Structure 1
Amino acid sequence: MSERVFTYPFADIWKLYVAKVERKGRTVAELEQVVGWLTGYSPAQLHTFEGDLRVFFTGAPALNSNVGLIRGVVCGIRVEDIEDPLMQQIRWMDKLVDELARGRKLAGILRA
């Protein structure tokens, strides 16, 4: 199952994230800020990235040094307990997008 998730095209995931946050009244700019905070990618890079989730995270400019502060449950699994580093990074991104969609303030999402 993990291998299948790792090979999802980032562009497809991005479209789903955009639809999710816009449906909940949040903006693409906020989504860009959240995913950029996690990965170091610029908004332009996020919109034009070609590759799967594995390439997305292995090529990330810089994972934020505060990623250890991301805690909680995604898909019934605590993100801080995930052992596979790549799966944990994917779930961190999911968790941040979920928090954005649920209306949490950006300062809290960005662990500021």
Structure 2
Amino acid sequence: MAKHQIYTMSVARVYPCYVTKAEKKGRTKIEVDEVIRWLTGYSQEEVEVQLEKQTDMETFFAEAPQLNPSRALIKGVVCGVRVEDFEESTMQEIRYLDKLIDELAKGKVMEKIFRHTN
């Protein structure tokens, strides 16, 4: 079975869409970067290197320094499917990021996006 197209798409191709979506709703590129760093454990410099290298989405998540354990608390629907119901782990990681960007664009405060419980 062939890989889903999103796996082979470069992060650099998807990233401007995330930024545009956030900025249209009054959020910033800095906040998008913060969300990506929170989810993946990449530093800002590492994110920028991944963008420059045109790293594909599958590799981006496979090589993430430390996927945030709190990502399991991310719930909701992306593309008509609940993120917690994706069985394939790479697709679930991609959809977690999609969901976080959606929440950012909807004006959710960063503390809620990052699943802080205090």
**Class of the TM-score when normalised by the shorter of the 2 chains:** over 0.9
User: How does the TM-score come out when normalised to structure 2?
Assistant: 0.90
Is residue 48 of structure 2 the alignment partner of residue 47 of structure 1?
A: yes
The gaps in structure 2 that reach 5 residues or longer are none
RMSD, aligned CA: 1.2
Aligned position for 2:103: 99
Could you tell me whether the CA contact under 8 Å between 1:2 and 1:87 is conserved in 2? no
3-state SS of the aligned residue for 1:29?
A: helix
- The one-letter code matched in structure 1 to 2:64 is A
Aligned position for 1:21: 22
Aligned structure 1 segments of 4 or more residues deviating by more than 6 angstroms? none
Larger Rg: 2
Q: Distance in 1 between matches of 2:111 and 2:59?
A: 28
Aligned position for 2:76: 72
Q: CA deviation at 1:44?
A: 2.2
3-state SS of the aligned residue for 1:62?
A: coil
Would you say how many aligned residue pairs link Structure 1 and Structure 2? 112
Could you tell me whether the CA contact under 8 Å between 1:10 and 1:52 is conserved in 2? yes
